[in-house]
């Protein structure tokens, strides 16, 4: 909260000493049960060891971030920074303003400490007097002891953080995740510079830490893959709820919002919520790649492209797309386009194997797309499949398939975004990597270069796969993909 907002804050406060004493009295004690260490804790410890090895002797500061004002005195629901989640093992239950610090030790490694705002006593001013953090208003937080038992980390009060962060600042390289908490970054930049650090070098040093944290997420450990499977399984529940409710979506009006709401209901019930804004695109809206307005009608006979994923409590998210015939049956033309995309997707999935390049997945899928477009006569006269796949002089197919076929997936829906091109697009696939495979074909209603029968049809099929020792495993294989399987799936769900 800015200083201006603090000054304009009109929330009620206890104003008399008598009332403050009264409100602090006669509360039953907290549960007091010591939590068991969470399942993610040993995996997070191993990740911290890898981070420690990458930056020996440096103090590493990874904030969770703070609350952000949504409107006036109301905050957005808090979501911690992904790097903090990955290194702490915490998830949706992270306390705002928490900071993880890896302090170099004499053994050549690092000691990890989490600084956060622990539960305040009931007789404190915070308990009732602070509507943003007080237990009376927003619920209890863990104590220092509970946090240590839960995470395996040393826990300290957030008030001790600044001194710890700046200890021997002139003699220690301090690296900070800059985008997690902008106010904290500005403050620490000023303090680091005052302690003798060169201002022009701060951002570059911090970017190296951000790069390391991002690339460490490229290969998932056993626990992470379990979370990804849980997210995919929960997403199937949401998709089937949408299928079961399609008739109501048609009848209710503004059906895309209806679909968004139904999926969101089940996402929230199954996990923390949605991992990204759901695309619920009926008819020609499916040809707007980032259609998240979801304001349109759904009509019988339409296709609806649903691109959505449940984010589970650990904050790992699925990312699945199915293109569904609202009536339950594809028309001949819809099936023709759908089957072409399905064939391309299968080629992409078949290309996922250890030792292959990440870019091989797109190459396999787009080759099929190019062949289909050529067979339909949509490429310019004289342009062959090989011609359009030429990256320097071709690419005509991109009019109808503009995006990449894959991206890494994990805590972020587009995970590992700080990796270099050499590490990402040109990188080698390794067991434990989790990718999407999602080709599509998009024929806008206004596109006069395609036959009229294709106009307004948009299809994407997307699955989440994990690279294995000898190929890949489709985490969402239990969600039907072929046109015949999708029709049978819709019939089965509606018959339940």
Give the DSSP letter string of 328-381.
SS--HHHHHHHHHHHHHHHHHHHT--TTSBHHHHHHHHHHHHHHHHHHTT-SPT
| Domain residue limits, the chain | 3-215, 222-495
222-495 has the same fold as 3-215: no
pLDDT of residue 404: 96
Contacts of 5 (CB under 8 A, 6+ apart): 69, 73
Query: Is there a contact between 361 and 406 (Cβ–Cβ < 8 Å)?
Result: yes
How large is the average pLDDT for residues 308-333? 98
Per-residue pLDDT for 67 more than 60? yes
Give the DSSP letter string of 241-280.
HHHHTHHHHHHHSSHHHHHHHHHHHHHHHHSSEESS--EE
How large is the average pLDDT for residues 36-48? 97
Task: Pick the closest to residue 353 from 220, 218, 471 (CA basis).
Answer: 471
CA–CA separation, 318 and 340 (whole Å): 24
What band does 13 get if pLDDT is binned at 50, 70 and 90?
Answer: low
Distance, C-alpha 260 to centroid of its chain: 18
Paired tokens of 133: 């953090």
Provide, rounded to the nearest whole percent, the portion of the chain with pLDDT above 70: 97
Task: Pick the closest to residue 170 from 187, 191, 184 (CA basis).
Answer: 191
Which superfamily, per CATH, for 3-215?
Answer: Creatinase/prolidase N-terminal domain (3.40.350.10)
pTM: 0.94
How large is the average pLDDT for residues 190-206? 89
CATH number of 222-495: 3.90.230.10
What band does 289 get if pLDDT is binned at 50, 70 and 90?
Answer: very high
Query: Is there a contact between 317 and 411 (Cβ–Cβ < 8 Å)?
Result: yes
Tens-place pLDDT, residues 360-377 = 999 999 999 999 999 999
Count the residues in the chain.
496
H helical segments located in 55-134: 82-88, 125-129
What SS3 state is found at 467?
Answer: strand
């Amino acid at each position: 909260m800015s200083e201006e907002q603090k000054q304009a804050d009109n929330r009620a406060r206890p104003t008399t000493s008598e009332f403050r004493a009264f409100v602090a009295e006669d509360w039953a004690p907290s549960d007091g049960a010591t939590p068991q260490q969470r399942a993610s804790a040993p995996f997070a410890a191993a990740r911290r060891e890898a981070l420690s090895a990458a930056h020996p002797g440096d103090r590493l500061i990874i904030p969770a971030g703070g609350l952000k004002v949504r409107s006036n005195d109301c905050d957005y629901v808090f979501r911690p920074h992904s790097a903090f989640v990955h290194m702490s093992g915490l998830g949706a239950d992270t306390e705002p303003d928490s900071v993880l610090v890896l302090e170099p030790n004499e053994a050549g490694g690092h000691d990890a400490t989490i600084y956060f705002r622990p539960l305040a006593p009931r007789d404190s001013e915070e308990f009732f007097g602070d509507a943003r953090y007080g237990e009376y208003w927003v619920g209890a937080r863990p104590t220092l002891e509970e946090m240590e038992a839960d995470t395996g980390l040393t826990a300290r009060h957030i008030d001790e953080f600044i001194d710890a962060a700046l200890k021997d600042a002139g003699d220690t390289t301090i690296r900070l995740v800059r985008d997690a908490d902008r106010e904290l970054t500005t403050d620490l930049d000023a303090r680091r510079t005052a302690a003798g650090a060169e201002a022009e070098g701060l951002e570059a040093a911090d970017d190296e830490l951000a790069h390391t944290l991002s690339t460490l997420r490229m290969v998932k450990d056993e626990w992470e893959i379990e979370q990804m499977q849980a997210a995919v399984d929960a997403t199937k529940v949401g998709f089937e709820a949408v299928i079961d409710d399609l008739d109501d979506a048609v009848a209710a009006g503004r059906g895309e919002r209806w679909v968004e709401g139904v999926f969101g209901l089940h996402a929230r019930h199954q996990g923390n919520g949605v991992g990204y804004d759901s695309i619920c695109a009926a008819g020609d809206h499916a040809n707007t790649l980032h259609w998240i307005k979801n304001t349109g009608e759904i009509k019988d006979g339409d296709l609806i492209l649903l691109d959505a994923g449940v984010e589970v409590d650990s904050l790992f998210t699925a990312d699945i797309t199915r293109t569904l015939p609202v009536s339950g049956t594809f028309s001949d033309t819809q099936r023709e386009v759908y089957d072409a995309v399905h064939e391309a997707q299968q080629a992409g999935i078949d290309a996922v194997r250890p030792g292959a390049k990440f870019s091989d997945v797109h190459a396999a899928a787009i080759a099929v797309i190019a062949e289909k477009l050529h067979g339909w006569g949509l490429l310019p006269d004289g342009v062959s499949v090989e011609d359009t796949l030429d990256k320097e002089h071709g690419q005509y197919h991109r009019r109808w398939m503009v995006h990449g076929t894959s991206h890494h997936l994990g805590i972020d829906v587009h995970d590992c975004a700080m990796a270099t091109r050499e590490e990402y697009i040109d990188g080698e696939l390794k067991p434990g990597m989790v990718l999407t495979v999602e080709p599509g074909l998009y024929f806008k209603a206004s596109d006069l270069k395609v036959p009229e029968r294709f106009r307004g049809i948009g299809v994407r099929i997307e699955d989440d796969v994990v690279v294995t020792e000898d190929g890949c495993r489709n985490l969402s294989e239990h969600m039907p993909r072929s046109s015949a399987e999708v029709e049978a799936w819709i019939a089965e769900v509606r018959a339940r």
